[in-house]
Each structure stands twice: as structure tokens, then as C-alpha cells.
Amino acid sequence: MSAPIIWIALPFIAGTLILFLLGDKYASQIGGAIAAILSLIALFIPIDAAMLIGSVSFKISPAIQVFGRAFEFTSADGPLLAAIFGISAIWFFGADAAGMAHRFVSLGLMIVSLLTASIAVEPFLYAALLLEVAAMLVVPLLVPLHQKPGRGVARFLVYQTFAMPFILFSGWMLAGVEANPGDLRTALQSGVTLSLGFAFLFAVFPLYSWIPQLMDESTPYAVGFLLWALPVFTVIFALGFLDRYVWLKNTSQIADAILYAGVIMTVTGGLLCALQRHLGRIFGYAAIAETGLFLIALGLRTPNLLDIAFLALLPRGLELSLWALALSIIKRKAYRLKLSDVQGLARVYPVATGALIIAHLSMAGFPLLAGFPSRLALWQALSAQSLSAALWAFLGLSGLLVAALRSLASFVMADAPPRWELNETRRQAAMLGIGAFGLFLIGLFPQVLQPFLSSLPALFEHIAQ
């Protein structure tokens, strides 16, 4: 069997079968188990290497041809696939606790399948089309049946669609630059066009207005999954661009543009996060600020760029899933999620509110939590390159910390404090507890991520040089 069939075709088929054949009862367990099994296969069974079990020998072939296009995984992709499907399993297992198992798990498997295909497809520019198809599948995930899409959903889909022609056209122009490196005019035009395409994909300021709108219109768990999946695969896609066209990374103007776009996103996202009075919007702006950190990492001129970028990418899925699950539980009690409506909820939903604050502090880079090691590595590299940019990025993360303190104050204050009680179900409390423990574990022992980080130089050989 080939690797693309295992990690692309099988999850897509499984998602389709779950959508049409299963109800809510077993969708979360089956979808999570499928993703977990695929993660374990990627972690322990090498691609394109013969293995002997008893008297049976088998090998996972690396590539397959579909309509003249190749989909290929190498042995270096194994840890990355393990991380992708492992984090997906966390989202799917938590879907039942969030109260949205059936459509979320089925569509989620299809979306992850398409996004995984974007890593494997050759020519790699077709990844842009796969990202667009995945964005279209996100729409039914965000919009309940028989409900008209809101402005946030429409704006999200429009911006994702606008990105495609810019990226495809820039890829065509970059091929011309490779053939004629001395054509500076074409090189400049291709760089500008590519920047516009990725500005739409990353929702660079001011193109991220759809994110807080989505938090008002859709369920927090579905939006959280979107804010995890698309930015992560977009970062991988962008790294593929920089690895293939090394001169883009070595051009100081382009590298500085990426870095300062990330600084602007981090600062504006952090400051707007600190000013919000709605827990959903706080969640959205915090995700925006962290996406800005990814852009800062991509703009660094340092040999350990990949380690810094993926050290931030890997905990993001756990942070967002824990935060989104806690928000989904709290929303059942305080539907509007305004700070004035959640006063005293720390006594009513202690596990959910505690998990939310832990996830928020981790994203802000609080010590001993999963987000701290990546922030520390980023500040060290950024301060050596631009001290002013490091200070601005620190200001943006300070905004996240202020928002966390404001949320905590709202949870614990009340005119007439209610009695302490535990209203989370056992499944909800278990998922929240495991997620919070995971954030502490990665923060205290970041070396647990080393097996995943050590294989990255083989994925992007030119960037790692």
C-alpha cells in the first residue's frame, strides 16, 4: 500500500462514511481512533523501507500518480504526519465533549485529508488548490444546517479564494525567474504577487476581520479547529516556497517584509485582545497574535528557523483545542460569552474556566507552559536581529496576558458568589484535565518534541543549510 492512500485517501473515505452511516453516538470515538492509528503508523512504520513481521514482509511505497499528478511522502515526513494526525485525534475525541461530534468529525477528517494532500502533491503549486477546496469544506463545518452563512463566513471564503490566483500566478512568474535570474523586474513582481497571496491566506492585518466575526456567528470549537488547521498547513506551504526558491529567503527586503508583517499582526492582535469584552473575540485575537509569531519566525535570518517555527506550531493544536472546548462548555451557561455574563462561573464550571486560563496563559508565553519555550527561542533570535521588533512582539504578547487576567477576574468575581459545584461531565473534565496536563508537560519538558523537530531539516533541506 502507498503512503498517500494511507494518509490521504483513507481518512477522506472514513470521513465520508461517518457522515452518511454514523450518528453522534460513536462518531467522535471512531474518528479519533482513526486519526490516532494513522498517527501511530506514521510514527513507528517508516515509509519506503521494508519491514519483516514474522514471515511477512511489507513496505509502504512513497508515491502514487493521480491524473498525471504525483502525491509523495518520504521517510522524513513520518514525524510530521504523526504530529498532524495526533493533534487531529485530540480535536476529534474532544468533539463529543463539545457537543458537536457527527458533522465535525466527518468533515474534519476530510479537511485534514485534503490539507495533508497539499504537503504531498507535485507540482507543489497544486497545494494552493487543495487549500482552497479544504476552505470550502470548512463552510458547512461553520454553518449549521438550514442557516444562512454570516458575513464572517462569507468574508473568510472570499479572502481564501482571492489568495489562489495570486499564488498560482506568482508560481508561474517564479519559474521564469529561475530561467532568467538576472530579470530583477520579474523577480520584484513575483515577490509582490506572492506576498499578496500569502497575506490573504495568513489573514495579515487588516485582512483578519473575519476571525472575530466568526466567533460571533459560529461555535467556538469549529472556529478553533479552523484556526489550527489552515494556518499550520499554510506555514508548511510557505516553508515549501522558501525552500524551493531560496533567493526569496535570501532577499533582505522580502525577509524583512515577512518579519514586520508578523510583528504588526502580533501587536495589533495582542492589543485588540486586551480590549475585548467577549470571550470568543479574545480567543480569535489571541490566535491572530500567535499567527503573527509564525510570520516572525519565517522572516528570521537564522539557521534554526525551522526549529523555532515548528516549536511554536506543535503546541498550538493543544492550546486551541483546550481553549475551544472550554469555551464551548461555558457557552452553554453564558450564551453570549460576554465578560459581564461569565461572572462567578469559576465556581460553577471550575475545570472549564481553569483550563481556559491555562490555555490562554500558554499562548501568551507564560513560563512553565507549552508556549514558553518557543517564545523564548523566538525572542532570543529576534532580539539578535532587531531589538525594536522584539520589544514590539513582547508588547503584543503582553496584551494577551492582560486579556487572560481580565478573563480570570470576570470568572471569579460575583455580587453573590454561588456555591462551588462541578457541572462538567466526566468526559469533559477528563478531556480538559488531559489537555491542561499536556500543556504543563510540554512546558516543563520541551525535549518531548525533539523526535518531531529532529526530522525537519530533511523536509526543507535548503532552508536548513
* Residues 97, 168 within the same domain: no
* Residues 235, 108 within the same domain: no
| Model pTM above 0.85 | yes
Q: Is residue 134 part of a domain?
A: no
User: Of 383, 368, 256, 377, whose CA–CA distance to 306 is shortest?
Assistant: 377
Q: Is 445 exposed, middle or buried (0-12, 13-18, 19+ CB in 10 A)?
A: exposed
Q: Is residue 129 part of a domain?
A: no
What's the domain count of the chain? 2
pLDDT in tens, the chain (465 residues): 788 888 899 999 999 998 887 766 788 889 999 999 999 988 888 887 777 666 666 777 877 887 777 888 888 788 888 989 999 999 999 888 888 767 889 999 999 999 998 888 877 777 888 888 898 888 888 887 777 778 888 899 889 888 888 888 877 777 666 656 555 666 677 777 888 888 888 888 888 889 988 888 888 999 999 999 988 888 888 888 777 777 777 777 788 888 899 999 999 999 999 999 999 999 999 999 999 998 998 888 877 888 888 888 888 999 999 999 999 999 887 668 888 888 888 888 899 999 999 999 999 989 989 989 989 989 888 988 888 889 999 999 999 999 999 999 999 887 766 777 888 888 889 999 999 999 999 999 988 888 777 777 777 776 755
**Contact at 8 Å (CB) between 262 and 292?**
yes
* Residues 176, 311 within the same domain: yes
Separation CA 21–CA 86 (nearest Å): 24
* Residues 174, 84 within the same domain: no
Q: Is residue 40 part of a domain?
A: yes
Give the pLDDT score at 357: 95
* Residues 180, 63 within the same domain: no
Range of the domain at 179: 146-464
Residue in the block written with cell 487572560:
404
Give the pLDDT score at 285: 94
Give the pLDDT score at 321: 93
Q: Is residue 139 part of a domain?
A: no
Give the pLDDT score at 22: 74
pLDDT for 72-108, tens place per residue? 888 878 888 898 999 999 999 988 888 876 788 999 9
Give the pLDDT score at 241: 79
What CA–CA distances, in Å, run from 189 to 96, 177, 242?
48, 10, 16
Q: Is residue 203 part of a domain?
A: yes
- Dihedral of CA atoms 360, 154, 195, 187 in degrees, nearest 10, equals 160
Give the pLDDT score at 454: 77
* Residues 188, 239 within the same domain: yes
Give the pLDDT score at 124: 73
> How big is the CA angle at 274 (ends 201 and 159), to the nearest 5 degrees?
15
